[in-house]
Structures are given as C-alpha cells and as structure tokens.
Amino acid sequence: MKAAIIKELGQTPVYSDHPDPVPANETELLMNVKAASVKNLDKLRASGKHYASYTELPAVAGIDGVGTLEDGTLVYAQGISGTLAEQALIRKGQYVVVPQGLDIIQAAALPNAVIGAAMALRFRAKMKKEDVVLINGATGVTGKLAVQLAKHDGASKIIVTGRNKSVLEELRGLGADEVISLLDSDEAIIERLKSIHRETPISCVIDYLWGKPVELIISALKGGGVNSFTPQVKIVTVGSMAGENISLGSGTLRSSAIEILGSGLGSLSREDLHRFYKEVLPEIFELAKDGKLKLDTYTAPLSEVEKAWELALEGGVRLVISVD
C-alpha cells in the first residue's frame, strides 16, 4: 500500500510503499482510509520532540482518520497503526459511525478539535447556560470550534483573544461578542478584561496559550484583598503555545476565587472518554452535518503529503490528507 512514511525523526514523512497492515487477532479491524488530518501532535511525534514519539522506524504517520470497514460502514477511529495510509488497523468496537451527509474531510478534521474544545468546556469547566466565557488564543483550529460550541451551549457572552486580527474579526461571525488583540499593550489588555469582568463576571477561561497571556488574564481577574469578594472563575488550560510556565504568586490564589485546571487525555477519566466517543463526538458530527459547526480545512492528496506537511497554513485551518 501507499503511505506517509517516517524514515527518520525530525524529517518530513515521505510518500512511499509500505507493507499492508494485517489484523493480529479478532479485536483488530482493517479500515480503508478515506481521509486523515495532520495536527500539531502528529508533527511533534514525527519530530521526536513528543513524549509519545515513534520508537520504531520506519513508521506510518497519523494517529486517527476516517475510512470504511469491510461492510462499507464509514467510521472515524484512532489507529493502532498509522492512518496516513491507504489502510490502517483500528480496535473492534472503538469507532464512531460518520452520519450520512457529513463531508468526509470535516469528519476527519473535527475529532481532535472536539477533544480540545468540547471536553474543556463541558467536562472540565462545566460551562452552564448563561455563563460568560473567555477563550484565550481563539484564532487556532480548536479555539474557533470552542467559540462555536460555547455559543451553541448557551453562553451569554463570549470574549476571545488572539494575535491574528483578521481571524479575530471572523470570530465575531461565529459567536464572539468581545474581541481583544494580544498585540495591544499589557496595560490595555488588563484594563479591558477588568472592565468586562466588572460588568459581566467571567465564569470560565478556556486557554490555548498559557504563558504571558494567562498571566495578564489572572492579573485582570484576581481579587483585591480583605473584604473583597470575587466571582468564581475556572481557568482551564488546554495548550501552551505561548510558553510552558507562568509566574503565579500564592497570594493571588488566596485572594481570589480562581480555580486552575487542565484539560487533556491525562486529566480526563475513562468515563469521560467513553462519553466522548458515545455521546459528544456523535452529537458534534450531527451538528456539523446540519451546518451548525464548521472547521476551515486545506485538503491535499496522500501523494503530495511531503509538500503539504511543510505548508504554513493560515490561522484556524486544519490540514487534511485525502486518501483515494
């Protein structure tokens, strides 16, 4: 079969021949891949800079995808073997049927973003209807989906931050009520957030940046000390594009009703992940099928994976490799 092969960590996968995958036992199924997305995680694993980087080479790139089973059923699944290939192995029973009418490219692009958006909003922040939500770093793929989901789930106000001005403006059409550019001065960002927080207290922050932008947010949300009661706010960090570490004084947390937690595979329970596959992703697929949610994508054929892998796409666009 043809596949995107990682021959050496740190190098771009190459389009080449690879042995067909063969199920090892009755728990494994063969999936004929139709499309697979390329995410930051895929690139980090291929670079050798991720804790789950490949240990045996050559290897087929890709961690998940959309394809057909032996009976023709179209499904999304994570792969036992690499999914940027004509065929991949998946676990029996561990897949989500793609509803008829949903575009295959959207079905391949959505799941990773859903984990970063829906699980953070619903399972970690426990967002409720009428909550005020701040999405920090909303101009990426997952951030754009988080804006749409927060709107769908009934947020009364959605504040977004980011550096890409054109995408920030685009987010207004997806449901954002307040837009804050991270290119503004630190003082301007803090004062704007303080003003919003005074008028409509922020209930939760979904953060895709960490680093300095979160320090500015905490500075705007922190309490004022004795006899100063502050609204409760959850800060849920999903990514660290702006830095892995922040400076946080103990007094800030003691004087504020701020709760900081993370959202990722290590922080989600087995039951959470079960609900993701059985409830959340099927729901999102239906919303996308009905045109109520959408991700911007760039599609390239498997034969051009080397060139596509190196593309610098605009903010909020997911690369999807089509396999025909």
Residue 298 lies in a domain: yes
| CA gap 108, 98 in Å, rounded | 10
* pLDDT tens profile 76-102: 999 999 999 999 999 999 999 999 999
Domain count, the chain: 2
Residue 134 lies in a domain: yes
For residue 231 the two structure tokens come to 């609204």
Whether 134 and 219 map to the same domain: the answer is yes
* pLDDT tens profile 10-45: 999 999 999 999 999 999 999 999 999 999 889 988
Which of 214, 247, 262 finishes a domain? 262
| CA gap 133, 140 in Å, rounded | 17
CATH no. for residue 52? Answer: 3.90.180.10
Confidence (pLDDT) at 226: 53
Whether 106 and 136 map to the same domain: the answer is no
Which of 244, 262, 280 finishes a domain? 262
Whether 157 and 243 map to the same domain: the answer is yes
| Low-confidence residues of the chain: pLDDT under 50 | none
Query: pTM of this prediction?
Result: 0.92
Residue 233 lies in a domain: yes
Q: Which amino acid is at 27?
A: T
Residue 283 lies in a domain: no
Q: Which domain holds residue 38?
A: 2-112+290-322
Residue 69 lies in a domain: yes
Comparing CA positions, the residue from 317, 322, 324 lying closest to residue 298 is 317
Whether 13 and 75 map to the same domain: the answer is yes
SS3 string of 41-97?
HHHHHHHCCCCCCCCCCCEECCCEEEEECCCCCEEEEECCCCCCECEEEEECCCCEE
Whether 79 and 171 map to the same domain: the answer is no
Neighbours of 285 (CB within 10 A): 23
| CA gap 223, 283 in Å, rounded | 38
Whether 165 and 96 map to the same domain: the answer is no
Q: Are strands 74-78 and 178-181 parallel, antiparallel or unpaired?
A: unpaired
Whether 58 and 151 map to the same domain: the answer is no
